[in-house]
Homo-oligomer: A and B are copies of this chain.
Amino acid sequence: MPDTDTLAAPDFSNWSCPLPLRDHPRVVMGHGGGGALSAELVEHVFAPAFGGPVLAALGDSAAVTLGGVRLAFSTDSYVVRPLFFPGGSIGDLAVNGTVNDLAMSGATAAYLSCGFILEEGVETAQVARVAQALGAAARAAGVEVATGDTKVVEAGRGDGIYLNTAGIGLIPAGVDLRPQRAEPGDVVIVSGPIGLHGVAVMSVREGLEFGVDVQSDCAPLGGLVQAMLAVTPDLHVLRDPTRGGLGASLNEIAAAAGVGVVVRERSIPVPPEVANACAILGLDPLYVANEGKLVAFVPRQHADAVLEAMRAHPYGAGAAVIGECVTDHPGMVVARTALGGTRVVDLPVGEQLPRIC
């Protein structure tokens, strides 16, 4: 290998983006990709404009106290194309995405809001199908849609249906799940095979269509989280690796907590179809979206018991230890490769694109 000792050490002290947004006078797709560009928008635009102490915590959901009660509160908009895909629909995502963000704070989702932005001309039957999927998913997740809103935008200024949901739920006493709580020694557990949602959606995306027997893993994780918290309320971090995949989630946690994360690539459960679809398209399964998985940072002494509890739950049957938290390389995620090498798993810059080389 190259001799690291003989290299002049570059100065890393000012490695933050020297000219924020310099290259982006306009929003590009990557600003919504859940990677570095998204983070930059939050850091340089949103946080200075309206960020407060709660937003600054930057979890999947916010933990707020209201009337003496601790609540988790979260929102996401859903713009997935096509609206229906193998294993789910935008309606399922709108429920499970928000329910899961609440679950990552340890909360069981109680109520959802739901905003439809409809494009003039979308078939009302299609709207009804999405609404029905959303209703079925809400019932399955045990959450009630409490309030809603509909807006219609002119044809050509939308794309059929966009959804937003926000959710609230109670955080149990003694539970404090935040990315900042990751600490060296924590064991990193993923709840099952990764990449299924992203591959399922790509397989039916216009212009990319391929045949593959993969269903989105879209599922509500509240029950799994409660089963984990029943082992110990002292879990450190939970995160659902959606946009940007496991790679983005691990990076966010490493950065928030100022710890290093090491994962053993061979231990990461990647279904063969996901691996093969990624091989064809030149993508990395670590960056492919999931919608029914979580990654947990668990104190070492509880790791066995938590893993066991996860595997006993239908949505955690494929749970696996994939790595751990270290003091080295704070803020960075490193993968031990199957061959025994290492590589840095960086925060993706923007959205993942099919490569040819």
- Residues of A at the B interface (CB closer than 8 Å) are 21, 24-33, 38, 41-42, 45-46, 49-55, 61-62, 64, 66-71, 73-79, 110-111, 113-125, 127-128, 131-132, 134-135, 138, 144-154, 156-159, 162, 164, 166, 168-170
Q: In the complex where A125-B25, A158-B158, A162-B162 touch, is A144 in contact with B52 (Cβ < 8 A)?
A: yes
Q: In the complex where A73-B111, A153-B79 touch, is A50 in contact with B134 (Cβ < 8 A)?
A: yes
Q: How far is the CB of A290 from chain B (nearest CB, A)?
A: 17
**Additional 9 contacts, C-beta under 8 A, given A27-B119, A42-B150:** A31-B150, A32-B118, A46-B148, A54-B147, A55-B146, A61-B147, A117-B164, A157-B158, A164-B164
Report whether A25 and B146 are in contact in the complex, using a CB–CB cutoff of 8 Å: no
State A74–B291 Cα separation when bound (angstroms). Answer: 25
A-B contact pairs, 23 of them (CB 8 A): A25-B123, A27-B122, A28-B152, A31-B152, A32-B150, A41-B150, A45-B127, A45-B131, A46-B116, A64-B110, A71-B168, A73-B111, A75-B113, A75-B147, A75-B164, A76-B115, A77-B116, A147-B166, A151-B162, A153-B159, A154-B159, A157-B158, A158-B159
Give the residues in chain B near A51, CB-CB below 8 Å: 135, 145
Report whether B168 and A73 are in contact in the complex, using a CB–CB cutoff of 8 Å: yes
Report whether A115 and B164 are in contact in the complex, using a CB–CB cutoff of 8 Å: yes
Q: How far is the CB of A314 from chain B (nearest CB, A)?
A: 24
Number of copies: 2
Report whether A42 and B148 are in contact in the complex, using a CB–CB cutoff of 8 Å: yes
State A132–B144 Cα separation when bound (angstroms). Answer: 33
